Amino acid sequence: MSLIRLDKFISERTEYSRSQIKQLAAKGSVTVGGVAVKKTDMKIDPDSDKIAVLGNIVASQRFRYILMNKPQGYVCSTNDNDGECVLELVPPELRTKNMFPAGRLDKDSMGALLITDDGELAHKMLSPKSHVPKIYIVKLDRPFQNNYINKFERGITISGGERCLPARVKAVENAEKLAIIEICEGKYHQVKRMFSAVGNHVDILMRVSLGGLVLPEKLGKGECMELLHKDVENLFKPSDFDLFCAKFSQNFSANLINNQL
């Protein structure tokens, strides 16, 4: 990677403006290789120089990818009038100025949510052409019926006359009101409307995978983790629905993830 101005490097990877970076440097709060620097227009090598602000290392990669276990009560909208935003849960050291939720989860839904500042990747992930599969665990109001399986596989028609692409759904062993569903599109309130179309109601909805990226069981409600490039690549790999269902059944209590369901 070619050399880049220190203030530009930090500004692109954090929430700090160039003027704020200059002020921090004047106070000795910006270091290059562990040494405080005053001049923020100096050139640095992003690949080899270790940059820190207020003791926090600034990641060398241009974009940042955060996986959040979204709790209920937070919105994915950046409009202040919609309520508390998921971005408020991202630790300050992981934030960048242009960060946004890639995709949506309803305010009362929870689970895997990607937050990034990489617009190109988000566009690719959300494009209908990509068909990134998503797996959800749902708690239903009434017991799961076996006829849901064939109905969802054929492609169900939801309220408003919209036709859904074929989806896979399966009951959870020893839990008549829990189900696992995989869809590969993202219509408005789709999972809830699909179950409504077969005469049931979703009480709780939790997304547990995006493509081949599975929400870690150890990631608690409202917690975040930074993804490595290899993890981000898993977004565009197919999920193994049967394997996920088998693992969920084998580790039933663990996969309830903090007893959220």
Q: SS3 for 228-242, per residue?
A: CHHHHHHHHCCCCHH
Q: What is the largest CA-CA distance in the chain?
A: 68
| Active site members | 106
- Among 212, 215, 216, residue whose Cα is nearest residue 230: 212
Does residue 104 contact residue 131 with C-beta atoms inside 8 Å? Answer: no
For strand 51-53 and strand 56-57, is the pairing parallel, antiparallel, or unpaired?
Answer: antiparallel
CA distance 258 to 254: 8
CA distance 108 to 116: 22
